[in-house]
């Protein structure tokens, strides 16, 4: 092919390609879709009416979102936070902008950009993830007039609202469920448990005090259900390494574990794969993973949901209502519905009612303060 015909063909292909693209600006603003890359819930379409009101009115609440490294599309933590903002956009008519840092040093950059911005002026900057703590400590001091909210950690400043979760409480419930099921001859979906071993597994991401809360709660719950239960633990060192998750889970299943709980972000995908291969069960985390990872719904008994969206939504709502309270720590536990056990989408009906009843009883006991769940695995 000589050069001239090459240019012609490329040009033609380019033009047809451009013309063929169906996107571009909407003709009459009928619908706008948000860029929810990982959104697979059914609640993220906004209607034109709200969109126009948000853009025309001057006093719209503007919210800046600074996500954790890993960005949107992780199917758990960041996407969950985005859900909260999207919900606030629908219900409260706010508008939000997003920043996805990929390095720790960028947290401060984005926090400052949101805080400095005057067009629009951001009424609240949501900082997602504990790695932002140090950056926010400095930024909140430099911009005392700016409201911030922080998820999963605490910055002691009058303009920062801190939201932490009682992950150990929710983990206790899934641990109890697992402890009860492991000694039964239980089979549902693609998995089964055998009564001859009382072994469970826990796969963590990067080892740290936060993930240890999940482990501690899970172990405590399992022990409460059955004193003889043994929990195998493995930290893969990454939140984004499905191969390592699979390897860790396979080793546990081969050592007699029936059910493996993971708190390891995308690494957990490997845990689900291992469960399917071995015909055993797994427990999801952060979101209802039997829905978000529906191809593994036949092995996911339940998920320990952590409603980061609630934290984001509540903080935005408080700003809209002009009731923003900085300096405080809001702990979202079972009582506040910040964490909870959600049974698997397709396996829920198969789980014995007696198990569900016992879990529900512990839930009440924890809410009432009758049961104290440890936050450190060494205290179990």
* Residue span binding other proteins (CB under 8 A) among the ranges 20-28, 255-263, 332-340, 366-374: 20-28
Q: How far is the CB of 321 from other proteins (least distance, A)?
A: 27
Identify the three-state secondary structure at position 126: strand
Which residue number, 23 or 42, has a Cβ lying nearer to other proteins? Answer: 23
Task: Check residue 103 for interaction with other proteins (CB under 8 A).
Answer: yes
366: closest CA among 329, 340, 343, 348?
A: 340
Cβ count within 10 A of residue 28: 6
SS3 of residue 286 by DSSP: strand
Smaller CB separation from other proteins, 55 or 185: 55
Interface pick for other proteins out of 109, 294, 346, 348 (rule CB under 8 A): 109
Residue 134 interacts with other proteins (CB under 8 A)? yes
CA distance 306 to 262: 13
* 247 contact partners, CB below 8 Å, separation of at least 6: 270
Contact 280, 260 (CB under 8 A): yes
For other proteins, which stretch binds (CB under 8 A), given 76-84, 98-106, 325-333, 371-379?
98-106
CA dihedral 95, 101, 106, 112 (to 10 degrees): 0
Q: Should residue 55 be labelled a site residue for other proteins when binding is judged by CB under 8 A?
A: yes
Among 14, 158, 279, 328, the residue binding other proteins under the rule CB under 8 A is: 14
Beta pairing class for 45-47 and 31-33: antiparallel
Per-residue interface string for the shown chain with other proteins, residues 25-44, x marking contact by CB under 8 A:
xxxxx--xx-x-x-------
Among 360, 361, 356, CA closest to 181: 356
CA distance 258 to 294: 20
* φ, ψ of residue 323 in degrees (nearest 5): -120, 25
What track of x and - describes contact with other proteins for positions 240 through 279 (by CB under 8 A)? ----------------------------------------
Q: b/e for 2-26, b at 16 or more Cβ within 10 A?
A: eeeeeeeeeeeeeeeeeeeeeeeee
For residue 178, what are its two tokens?
């697992």
C-alpha angle 293/164/284, rounded to 5°? 20
21 binds other proteins (CB under 8 A): yes
Q: Which pair of tokens denotes residue 329?
A: 């720590």
Which part of the chain contacts other proteins (CB under 8 A), choosing from 94-102, 177-185, 242-250, 289-297?
A: 94-102
Beta-bridge partners for 261: 202, 283
104 binds other proteins per the rule CB under 8 A: yes
The least CB distance from residue 280 to other proteins, in Å, is 29
Q: What whole-number distance in Å separates Cα of residue 291 and Cα of residue 263?
A: 17
Which stretch, 16-24, 77-85, 281-289, 354-362, contacts other proteins (CB under 8 A)?
Answer: 16-24
Segment interacting with other proteins (CB under 8 A) among 12-20, 301-309, 321-329, 344-352: 12-20
Given candidates 90, 95, 184, 206, which one binds other proteins under the rule CB under 8 A? 206
Cα separations in angstroms, 30 against 26, 70, 330:
7, 33, 39
- Only segment of 76-84, 88-96, 102-110, 371-379 that touches other proteins (CB under 8 A): 102-110
Of residues 17, 42, 227, 369, which one binds other proteins by CB under 8 A? Answer: 17
Stretch that binds other proteins, among 207-215, 222-230, 253-261, 321-329 (CB under 8 A): 207-215
16 part of the interface to other proteins, by CB under 8 A: no
Subset of residues 138 to 167 that bind other proteins, contact rule: CB under 8 A: 142, 152-153
For residues 66 and 341, which CB has a smaller minimum distance to other proteins in the complex?
Answer: 66
Q: What is the C-alpha to C-alpha distance for residues 82 and 65, in angstroms, rounded to an integer?
A: 8
The site for other proteins (CB under 8 A) is made up of: 14, 17-18, 21-29, 32-33, 35, 37, 51, 55, 69, 71, 97, 99-106, 108-110, 112-114, 130-131, 133-134, 142, 152-153, 206-210, 237
């Amino acid at each position: 092919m000589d050069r001239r015909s090459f240019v012609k063909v490329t040009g033609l292909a380019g033009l047809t390609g451009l013309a063929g693209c169906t996107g571009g600006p909407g003709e009459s603003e009928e619908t706008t879709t948000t860029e929810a890359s990982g959104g697979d819930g059914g609640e993220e379409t906004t209607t034109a009416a709200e969109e126009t009101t948000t853009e025309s009115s001057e006093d719209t609440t503007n919210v800046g979102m600074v996500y954790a490294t890993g960005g949107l599309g992780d199917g758990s933590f960041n996407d969950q936070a985005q859900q909260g903002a999207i919900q606030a956009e629908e219900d409260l008519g706010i508008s939000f902008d997003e920043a996805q840092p990929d390095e720790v040093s960028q947290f401060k950059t984005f926090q400052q950009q949101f805080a400095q911005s005057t067009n629009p002026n951001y009424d609240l900057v949501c900082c997602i993830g504990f790695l932002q703590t140090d950056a926010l400590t400095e930024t909140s001091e430099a911009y005392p007039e700016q409201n911030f909210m922080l998820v999963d950690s605490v910055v002691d400043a009058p303009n920062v609202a801190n939201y932490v979760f009682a992950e150990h409480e929710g983990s206790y419930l899934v641990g109890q469920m697992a402890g009860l099921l492991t000694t039964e001859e239980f089979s549902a979906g693609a998995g089964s448990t055998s009564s001859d071993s009382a072994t469970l597994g826990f796969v963590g991401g990067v080892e740290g005090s936060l993930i240890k809360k999940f482990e501690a709660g899970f172990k405590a719950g399992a022990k409460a259900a059955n004193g003889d239960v043994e929990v195998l633990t493995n930290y893969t060192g990454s939140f984004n390494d499905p191969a390592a998750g699979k390897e860790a889970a396979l080793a546990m299943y081969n050592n007699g574990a029936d059910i493996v709980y993971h708190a390891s972000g995308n690494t957990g995908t490997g845990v689900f794969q291992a469960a399917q291969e071995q015909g055993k069960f797994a427990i999801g985390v952060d979101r209802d993973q039997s829905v978000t990872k529906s191809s593994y719904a036949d092995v996911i008994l339940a998920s320990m949901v952590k409603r980061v969206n609630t934290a984001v939504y509540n903080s935005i709502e408080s700003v809209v209502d002009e009731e923003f309270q900085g300096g405080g720590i809001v702990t979202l536990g079972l009582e506040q519905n910040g964490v909870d056990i959600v049974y698997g989408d397709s396996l829920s009906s198969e789980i014995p009612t007696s198990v569900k009843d016992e879990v529900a009883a512990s839930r009440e006991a924890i809410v009432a303060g009758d049961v104290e769940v440890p936050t450190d695995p060494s205290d179990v």
